[in-house]
Structure 1
Amino acid sequence: MKVHAASLGFLALFATLGLVAAQTPPAREPQPAKPGEQAAESQEREPDVRAITDLLASFVKAYNAKDAKALGPLFTPEAEIEDDGEVTKGRDAIVERFLGMFKEDGGDSLSVNSDSLRFLGTDIAIEQGTASLTTRAGEPPQTNRYSVIYARQGGRWLHASILDEQPDEDSPHEQLEQLAWMLGEWVNEGDEGIVNTTCTWSDDGNFLQRVFEVKVEGRIALSGTQRIGWDAQRKQFRVWVFDDRGGFADGLVSRDGERWIIKTSGVRSDGRSVSVTTAFTALGKDKILWETLERSVSGEVVSGTDQFYLVRPAPTPGK
């Protein structure tokens, strides 16, 4: 079998850039508010705890009904909301804020889980908890910590201040757990050769690292390594590739429905630049559909697309 140099170059590049497929962690179910579970400092404050619990339930109900006017009476006249550095002061301004939010995000749903409630005096209390906002069916909710200062005015408990805290960023390892299904061995057998890949965690757990080799007519024609990491600035997965001939490439990963799209560029050992756009779709835990959408060498577009499969190798007999 005769293999053209350009074909082998593409095969090698595809081998180094692949195997990031469409699997995502299960969505965390939003936790509903649990009236009556807030902790009070003494049983003497139970009527106040119930009143604040009812106030919280009224807030969630009005929010999910997208009723900004019903939210207004739940705040003191001089109340404040701080979210992502933006501060809204005064009951009227708060109502206007929610009116604008509901026009933009009319389909979301709020749930809260109160963790603690402390009374600082007769008419002041502080609550802390977690709020979850579900924006679309099937998407993970947006979750953040919050703290509320309640004030009793005219015999009623009201919101005096709400602070939405920014959620903690997941560590690189936690982000990469989305791709932990990649661990282990994969193989692609095509007309031009066989690509074998082994994927493991890096020693520090902050990268997935792959070792690959391309065999043509039973001989190793190319080998190399790849690292997959989390780019905290771009909020995307990034890949870096190095082959044993001195070629290298890097790229970014984004999701498109059920597919993951990888756009990469690099330099081959012969000095020519290479750009490739690929797409991956998981077909169960042991099979991946791999498509090449666009590719070019030294700025010249190579026509045509490819479609093939990656699978886990069959177990060795007797094991």
Structure 2
Amino acid sequence: MATAKPILISLVGKALLVLPLTSILVCSPAMSDTQPGSTGDEKLLRSQADDYAKAFAAGNSKALADMWSSEGTFTDSEGREFRGRTAIEQFFASNFARYGKQPLVINVESIRFPTDGVAIEEGQTCTQQGNSLGNVSHYEAVHAKENGRWQMEAVTETECPKKFSDSLQDLAWLIGTWSAKCSPSSSIHLKADWAANHNFIRCTYGNPSADGEQSGAMTIIGRNPINGRIISWHFDSKGGSGSGKWLRDGQSWTERTTSVEPDGAMGSATYIIHKLDDNTFTWRSVDRSIAGAALPDRQELTVTRDGSK
């Protein structure tokens, strides 16, 4: 039940222009004299779920991480695995720094005890945004009891199906050619056009190299017909690829992406687009990582439509 923004980031995800948010089920350290699998154990686990929600709402990343065993794992709804308390604490700290504290609702649906000292808990988590519900995730948490103490050994979070009212027409203003200055001596160019009977938007972008070759990438933007969410696929000229999920907030779009580099390394990033007017938008890339190593955020670029000045 880790939650972070960009989906429960549930943390995080957002997170996509957004947060990504990620939600996880919690089990805080506690002592108990009850027998394994007893009613007392189930009550204790449910109480610890409440403690988890309180720690999440308080933005207490250390208290959350201490609910795992020393080598416990958390796998978020985007498939990223965080192993050990240090990595899990850093994950929560990063998301709280970016998205702030958020109330979390945990609905424990079932707890079963397949063997002595082991409990499997399932349920849903949901962040609260004002008076409305935010990201919703399903979780499964495997708890182990040692010396009377329940801790989480493995938590896996998956995104719950959600209906979005997104439309590609909301991005129709992107159609055209654009340019942005990366530095006084270099610029990047973008071309966006409709594809496949207006069911997709194809974006090609890059920067001519010294030998005249186009060094760039291509993005295909579409809409998931099952839940209505805007999604995308990325391909670069070196052989890497990735995919992203979009979330709209007014005139801003957040895309949370995962990628595979040409050498097989896994990566992730959040792209944020903010429309200033029909001829101008800003773009930036944050929360970047490759092979588990954090990378610095990219500078924000101001992108203008060609011929608009």
- Which band: TM-score by shorter chain? 0.3 to 0.5
Which is richer in helix? 1
Which is richer in strand? 2
- TM-score, normalised to structure 1, is 0.41
* Structure with larger RCO (C-alpha < 8 A, sep 6+): 2
- TM-score, normalised to structure 2, is 0.43
